[in-house]
């Protein structure tokens, strides 16, 4: 453990993974996987501690095995222990993303409606959901690539729209209703 101010903070560890879609940086602490980013993606390693150590921990090794299975075109039959950090809202959105089945998609509006229902409130902002999805720290394993616009528009993937398409195709998602908007945040 290292100390920040007077509060001890768990050390973060990093390792690299060569995927068919480019180099990936993995991060973990003693509680689970904390990050999975494609090199040079938007918000790359945004919350990675400046002081970290390059070491393949058990959680990172598990993530690499998961990615090996995933990139072979199969749905991994095990879950990597995750340490999702952030606001209660971000964690709620992440939990819903984790529930989206392999090869399926969900819209930002559907996630917003699910949160509104859980909170017993009349409405939740799909735009707020989009902000949380766009800042996902654990790409692929927390499948933000499975979140799409209501009309079928493929937007909001920090790793780039081409990777989002390739990930959905790898999972065998029905791509016939999706399109790339001419303007958008993930282009």
pLDDT tens digits along 69-123: 999 999 999 999 999 999 999 999 999 999 999 999 999 999 999 999 999 999 9
pLDDT at position 65: 98
Asked if pLDDT for residue 138 goes beyond 90, the answer is: yes
Percentage of the residues of the chain whose pLDDT score is greater than 90: 74
The DSSP annotation for 62-109 comes to HHHHHHHHHHTTS--SS---B---S-HHHHHHHHHHHTSPTT--EEHH
Residues with catalytic function: 144
pLDDT at position 42: 66
pTM of the complete model: 0.89
Q: Diameter of the chain by CA atoms?
A: 54
Q: What are phi and psi of 158, to 5 degrees?
A: -60, -25
Q: Residue 41 half-sphere exposure, CB side, CA atoms within 13 Å?
A: 31
Strand partners of residue 52: 12
pLDDT at position 185: 52
Q: Three-class SS of residue 37?
A: strand
């Amino acid at each position: 453990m290292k100390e920040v101010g007077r509060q001890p903070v768990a050390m973060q560890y990093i390792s690299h993974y060569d995927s068919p879609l480019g180099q990936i940086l993995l991060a973990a602490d003693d509680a689970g996987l904390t990050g999975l980013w494609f090199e040079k993606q938007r918000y790359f390693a945004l919350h990675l501690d400046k002081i970290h150590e390059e070491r393949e921990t058990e959680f990172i090794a598990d993530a690499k095995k998961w990615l090996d299975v995933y990139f072979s075109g199969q749905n991994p039959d095990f879950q990597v222990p995750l340490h999702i950090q952030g606001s209660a809202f971000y964690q709620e959105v992440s939990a819903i993303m984790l529930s989206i089945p392999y090869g399926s998609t969900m819209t930002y509006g559907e996630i917003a409606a699910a949160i509104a229902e859980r909170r017993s409130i009349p409405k939740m902002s799909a735009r707020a959901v989009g902000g949380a999805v766009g800042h996902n720290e654990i790409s692929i394993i927390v499948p933000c690539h499975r979140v799409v616009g209501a009309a079928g528009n493929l937007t909001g993937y920090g790793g780039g729209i081409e990777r989002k398409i390739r990930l959905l195709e790898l999972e065998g998602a029905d791509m016939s209703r999706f399109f790339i908007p001419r303007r958008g945040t993930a282009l």
